[in-house]
Amino acid sequence: MATSDRLSGLDSAFLHLESGGAHMHVASIMVFEGKAPSYDDFREFLEARLDRVPRYRQRLAFVPLNQGRPVWVDDPYFNVRYHLRHSALPSPGADEQLAALAGRLFAERLDRDKPLWEMNLVEGLAPAADGQPRFAVVVKTHHALVDGISGVDITSVLFSASDEVESNVEAQPWIARPTPSGPDLLGAALMERVSNPSEALRGVRAIARTPRRAVADVVGRVEQTGALAWAGVRSAPHTPLNQPIGSHRRYGWVNASLASFKHIKNGLDGTINDAVLATVSLGLGRWL
């Protein structure tokens, strides 16, 4: 098995950090002017480009006994119709209704038994101010997947204007590679231990942790009690943001000028992300 398909330490951390209401997916809403494509047309458009992002046809495979980080394997049951959904907003199709729909979609955790992404084609959006029809695409992708492919995700492929994307529309039919068995996964992980001492140490720690999982609930409650006691001694500042995280989500946005952010980043020799993060930080600071 190619070790390049194994998750990095950072990508694996995103999986471990995900629990309860702490979802580790990233999400976005893209609004377009023009008539919405039909579901089948959009599905074909998407499917023809999946060869450029092969990770989007892969799911996680976990190593037995937790003896290594998970690996990406082809999903033999991949069905693009599962990942591409279709929704319609009720009249009048205001932005607030789109935000409410997105909040419900983003509140749902991605299924780890399938490739870790979903996309939703949304119709029924109210026309733009100039009367142009609009539609939206809502995308949800796990952090482990996006970071693992250096940010080259399905949206950058779908909405690229380059000829390179168009040249791949006639891609060959995709055939999933055989799924490795549990012993295969374990054997590959153990082989890595031989050449990587840090991986060997990790394996020893994982074996030591395995028997304790039988009493994980008890240990967890003790740890929670200790955490509460420690929080009473060194608690974080009280703010509206320092609250328990639930599973529900609300989604909102403000409109901003891309040209303005480009002007700012050029003046400071930074990036658009630098300018956006500085703006958000300033806004949060004033709000708090």
Contact 6, 68 (CB under 8 A): yes
d(CA 60, CA 72): 5
Dihedral (CA of 59, 64, 69, 71) sign: negative
Strand partners, 74: 58
**How far apart are alpha carbons 25 and 104 in whole angstroms?**
14
Q: What is the C-alpha separation between 256 and 250, in angstroms, rounded? A: 20
Distance CA 19, CA 126 (A): 36
Question: Can you give the pLDDT at residue 106?
Answer: 95
Whole-number Å distance between alpha carbons of 249 and 100: 9
Beta carbons of 119 and 49 less than 8 angstroms apart: no
With the CA atoms of 216, 218, 219 and 222 taken in that order, what torsion angle do they form, in degrees rounded to the nearest 10?
Answer: 150
pLDDT at residue number 194? 76
End-to-end CA distance of the chain: 50
Count other Cβ atoms within 10 Å, centred on residue 67: 22
Q: What is the pLDDT along the chain (288 residues), one digit of tens a residue?
A: 444 588 988 899 999 999 888 899 999 999 999 999 999 999 999 998 888 888 999 999 999 988 899 999 999 999 999 999 999 999 999 999 999 999 999 999 999 999 999 999 999 999 999 999 999 999 999 999 886 555 556 777 777 766 555 544 556 788 999 999 988 888 888 888 777 655 545 544 554 454 555 445 444 544 554 554 555 556 667 888 888 888 889 998 988 999 999 999 999 999 999 999 999 999 999 988
- The predicted-structure confidence for 98-136, as pLDDT tens digits, reads as follows 999 999 999 999 999 999 999 999 999 999 999 999 999
Report phi then psi at 115, rounded to 5.
-55, 140
Each as own residue / partner, the long-range contacts of residues 11-14 (CB below 8 Å, 24 or more positions apart, any chain) are: 11/69, 11/143, 11/144, 11/147, 11/148, 12/69, 12/70, 12/144, 14/142, 14/143, 14/144, 14/147
- Which domains does the chain show, CATH number per domain? 3-166 (3.30.559.10), 258-287 (no CATH)
The alpha helices in the chain, defined as continuous H runs, are 9-17, 39-47, 80-83, 95-106, 143-148, 154-158, 163-166, 182-195, 197-209, 216-233, 258-268, 272-287
In the structure encoding, which two tokens stand for residue 279, read together? 């703006």
pLDDT for position 225:
47
Distance, in Å, from the CA atom of 67 to the CA atom of 140, rounded to the nearest integer, reads: 29
pLDDT score of 270: 94
Contact 97, 89 (CB under 8 A): yes
